[in-house]
Amino acid sequence: MKKTALITGASSGFGAACARTLAEKGWQLVLTARRAERLAALQRELSAQTPVHTLALDVRDAEAVAASFASLPPEFAEVDLLVNNAGLALGLEPAHEASLEDWDTMVDTNVKGVMYCTRAILPGMVARNRGHVVNIGSVAGSWPYPGGNVYGATKAFVQQFSRNLRADLLGTAVRVTNIEPGMAETEFSKVRFKGDDEMAGRVYTGTEALQPADIADIVAWVASVPARVNVNSVEVMSVHQAWGPLAVDRS
């Protein structure tokens, strides 16, 4: 019988790539995001390969997350792999100029969405003593940069939440991994710059960023290692990205 992966944010970027890679590796899929038409297109693409169930869902809606995960069709109800991928950055302004509304949206999606999805799926995993939660964190959760303020802080939450989950799950076979990518070419920058394609394009111009399939391969790998192995975290950057020096004000 096929194992079931539930992917949030499957309508684009890493999430869609995870769907394609996991389908190839023999997983059946529950694909969720807000844009139902994108999920339907992905379902049409993949359903010859593997069973796919789609769920239009906003991860910020605690009740909708709990209700829709509790009423998955029986053949998809036992989730073996939860990929908490839905997330976003909004804006790159310094903290004193940033929009509070953007900050709320990032906290609601990247922090609370991950909490809601995990809390809904985890009891079944523990009861079955089987399962894996893969969170998509970011290098921004460990390394500060100007304008990263709340986005980076939400990913620091994801990092520590992942570790604390594993602490709670000791004694079970349920695994937790935090994947921490650097710059990757998805719709991330288009969302961050609110539809400004030129600004978004500039992020990736003249360099070679990570591609969605690179992250999907890592998700598939951490899920495929022997059951005794828990990959706690994977930090990954393009070879064209590295850390900068500490900043000093000499004005």
238 Cβ contact list (under 8 Å, min separation 6): 182, 183, 184, 207, 208, 209, 210
CB-based burial label for 223 (10 Å; 0-12, 13-18, 19+): buried
Query: Which of the listed partners (ligand 8X3, ligand NDP, none) does 87 bind, with a CB threshold of 5 to 8 Å by partner kind?
Result: ligand NDP
- Does the footprint of ligand 8X3 cover residue 183 (CB under 6 A)? yes
Single residue of 28, 109, 118, 177 touching ligand NDP by CB under 6 A: 109
Q: Which of 148, 147, 219 is nearest to 181 (CA)?
A: 219
Q: Would residue 151 show up in a list of annotated catalytic residues for this protein?
A: yes
Q: Let me know how long the chain is.
A: 251
Write down the least CB distance from residue 89 to ligand NDP, Å.
6
Single residue of 55, 98, 133, 140 touching ligand 8X3 by CB under 6 A: 140
- Does the footprint of ligand NDP cover residue 11 (CB under 6 A)? yes
Query: Which of the listed partners (ligand NDP, ligand 8X3, none) does 187 bind, with a CB threshold of 5 to 8 Å by partner kind?
Result: ligand NDP
Distance, CA of 144 to CA of 163 (rounded, Å): 20
> What stretches of 107-148 show up as alpha helix (H) in DSSP?
114-128
**Maximum CA pair distance of the chain?**
65
- Does the footprint of ligand NDP cover residue 162 (CB under 6 A)? no
41: number of Cβ within 10 Å: 14
What residues make contact with ligand 8X3 under the rule CB under 6 A?
138-140, 148, 182-183
What residues make contact with ligand NDP under the rule CB under 6 A?
8-9, 11-15, 33-35, 38, 57-60, 85-88, 109, 136, 138, 181, 183-184, 186-188, 191
